[in-house]
Amino acid sequence: AQTVTQSQPEMSVQEAETVTLSCTYDTSESDYYLFWYKQPPSRQMILVIRQEAYKQQNATENRFSVNFQKAAKSFSLKISDSQLGDAAMYFCAYRRNSGGYQKVTFGIGTKLQVIP
């Protein structure tokens, strides 16, 4: 069964600094997607970034980038130039992409605090 582990319940970062959130996963599949979602206090889930497992190049979206290590089953999120609006819960998620049933599994989340 696929599992997603986020080992940092809470993190804090100074405004304008860089922070990295960790995520590891367990799967026997070779073809899958990984996602990072942000959930601000409004509780709306917002997609931050996604990575396709067959692509070696790490995904980037403006200030957000990932470090995808397929062999280590690691998928960390780096937030550069942190802003106050980045304060939120961040969830890592996994989805297989090889046909059949494709349930999406989430980690328990990391609460990010941004200090002015």
Partner 1 sequence: DGGITQSPKYLFRKEGQNVTLSCEQNLNHDAMYWYRQDPGQGLRLIYYSQIVNDFQKGDIAEGYSVSREKKESFPLTVTSAQKNPTAFYLCASSHISANRGSNNSPLHFGNGTRLTVT
Residues at the interface with partner 1 (CB under 8 A) = 6, 9, 31, 33, 35, 37, 43-45, 47, 50, 52, 54, 91, 93, 95, 97-109
Phi then psi for 5, rounded to 5 degrees? Answer: -120, 125
Nearer to partner 1, 90 or 114 (CB): 90
Complex with partner 1: residue 46 or 115, whichever CB lies closer: 46
12 vs 18, beta carbon nearer partner 1: 12
CB 17, min distance to partner 1, A: 26
Question: 25: which strand partners?
Answer: 4
* Shortest distance in whole angstroms from residue 85 CB to partner 1: 19
Rg of the chain, C-alpha, whole Å:
14
Residue 10 or residue 81: which is nearer to partner 1 going by CB? 10
Residues 6+ away with beta carbon under 8 Å from 103: 2, 95
Residue found by looking up tokens 């957000």 in the block: 64
- Distance of alpha carbon 13 from alpha carbon 100, whole angstroms: 41
